[in-house]
Amino acid sequence: MNFQEGETILIDKPLNWTSFDVVNKIRWNLKRKLGVKNIKVGHAGTLDPLATGLLIICTGKHTKLIESIQADEKTYTGTILLGKTTPSYDLETEYDQTFPTEHITAELMEEVRRSFLGEQQQVPPIFSAKQIDGKRAYELARAGKTIEMKANTIQVSNFTIDAARFPEVDFEISCSKGTYIRSIAHDFGAKLNSGGTLIALRRTKSGTNDIQNAFTVDEMLAKINAD
């Protein structure tokens, strides 16, 4: 692999790592192995620390491809817990409200599931990296500031659910760039007249790139440092 000229690498991001943790780990090892002071390394689409799965890393001239890769449709699998909410819409923050779930039927869930298909407006979580007046939304949220998030247009091409472990609902979703799966979980619960929290998330596809072809971080470091 010619990392200096340019490579596109598929990484299976581990739990609790930031996307930048992965970039920095790979960059540090490349600089040491190649004996260079700097090398371009970037990722094509952030994954939250609590998410795992496909993270696309570009090096060298391939960093010019990042914008087009980010525009690709993404596919995720995960789990929504119904009946509870958190301020961050996931497990980054503590549960703050509890809601009834006894009224939720299979028919109601199917009706709500269908409502997410196609083009729609989505309000991002306040605990997100969206820029507001030059600051990240999550910085303002953690400081206790009142934030008004603007809705974005998103597209959902596929959304399937499995409620065999109710009130946990497993799902798979394929969606456009800019979709917040945490907001999908929160809104799914709200449309059921209950609450919803994202408790697990894994990215499995980005465009034609598939998690099945990804390396673990350790596997990629071994390739970089191989004699």
Active-site positions?
Answer: 48
3-state SS of 98-121? Answer: ECCCCCCCHHHHHHHHHHCCEEEE
- Amino acid letter for position 148: E
Q: What is the C-alpha separation between 202 and 220, in angstroms, rounded?
A: 19
| Tokens matching residue 227 | 């004699």
Q: Please state, in angstroms and rounded to a whole number, the distance separating the CA atoms of residues 23 and 78.
A: 24
Q: Which residues of 198-214 are buried (b: 16+ CB within 10 A; e: fewer)?
A: bbbbbbbbbeebebeeb
Residue pair 54/166 in contact by the 8 Å Cβ criterion: no
- The residue assigned the tokens 């939250």 is 48
